[in-house]
């Protein structure tokens, strides 16, 4: 998968892309992730990419010209193919879910447009963006953090990225359930013991226990997921 990130702050992605799973995914050739500096497409010596909003109001708005031209350069002046998805990170977008991560993981090319200030000129969004996405009902100062969230959630789903493919099968939000409790060595620590069933070696009993724990945890913490599961 190719991933391009249009951003005012490409340096913000340095550590994120050069460590842990993101680094391994790129080194192994599962993902090619690049940043595009929107300021490179500004029209003045100050590399200005924002201006005051028409109609008045607080804050600044990202100008359409550098965004249009950055995307045109990215696609060589051609129209993006159906295997490409352009996503704008904004609090006005559709709430991001695991189901959406799975859909995005099927594309060959993802482009993330990071919002900033009071937002992006609507003409750029209407002309280029396939979908607007939000990671929650709160406001951040920039779209770079949400972009990292989406990229992390999608890249880990690509074949070969996770060391154990089962890791993405038994986890929260799979089947609308939160994940069951996890334990590791030692079996007892400061009087706190691992549930006996996990030490039994009986795989069916372990599977049943995990399912019951997932249901119990979901009912307590996210009952809305169970209501959704029943529909």
Return d(Cα 31, Cα 158) in angstroms, integer.
Answer: 8
Alpha helices (H) along the chain: 14-17, 20-27, 64-74, 98-104, 122-128, 144-155, 203-221, 223-230
Per-residue pLDDT of the chain (231 residues; tens, 9 = 90+): 999 999 999 999 999 999 999 999 999 999 999 999 999 999 999 999 999 999 998 899 999 999 999 999 999 999 999 999 999 999 999 999 999 999 999 999 999 999 888 899 999 999 999 999 999 999 998 999 999 999 999 999 999 998 766 555 555 666 789 999 999 999 999 999 999 999 999 999 999 999 999 999 999 999 999 987 776
pTM above 0.85, yes or no: yes
Place of tokens 């770079």: 144
Please, what is the Cα angle at 90 between 54 and 134, to 5 degrees? Answer: 155
Joined together, the tokens standing for residue 47 give 């590399």
Q: Distance between CA atoms of 120 and 170, rounded to whole angstroms?
A: 38
Q: How many CB atoms lie within 10 A of CB 204?
A: 8
């Amino acid at each position: 998968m190719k991933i391009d990130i249009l951003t005012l702050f490409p340096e913000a992605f340095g550590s994120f892309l050069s460590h842990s799973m993101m680094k391994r995914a790129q080194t192994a050739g599962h993902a090619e992730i690049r940043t595009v500096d929107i300021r490179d497409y500004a029209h003045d010596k100050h590399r200005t990419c924002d201006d005051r909003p028409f109609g008045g109001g607080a804050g600044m708005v990202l100008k359409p010209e550098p965004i249009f031209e950055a995307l045109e350069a990215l696609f060589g002046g051609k129209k993006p193919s159906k295997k490409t998805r352009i996503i704008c990170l904004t609090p006005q977008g559709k709430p991001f879910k695991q189901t959406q991560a799975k859909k995005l993981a099927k594309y060959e090319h993802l482009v993330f447009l990071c919002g900033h200030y009071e937002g992006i000129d609507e003409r750029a969004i209407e002309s280029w963006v396939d979908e607007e996405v939000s990671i929650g009902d709160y406001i951040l100062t920039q779209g770079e953090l949400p972009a990292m969230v989406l990229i992390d959630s999608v890249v880990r789903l690509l074949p070969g990225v996770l060391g154990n493919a089962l890791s993405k099968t038994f986890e929260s939000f799979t089947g609308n359930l939160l994940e069951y409790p996890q334990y590791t060595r030692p079996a007892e620590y400061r009087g706190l013991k691992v549930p006996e069933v996990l030490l039994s070696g009986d795989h069916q009993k372990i599977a049943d226990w995990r399912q019951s724990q997932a249901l119990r945890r979901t009912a307590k913490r996210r009952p809305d997921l169970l209501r959704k599961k029943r529909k």
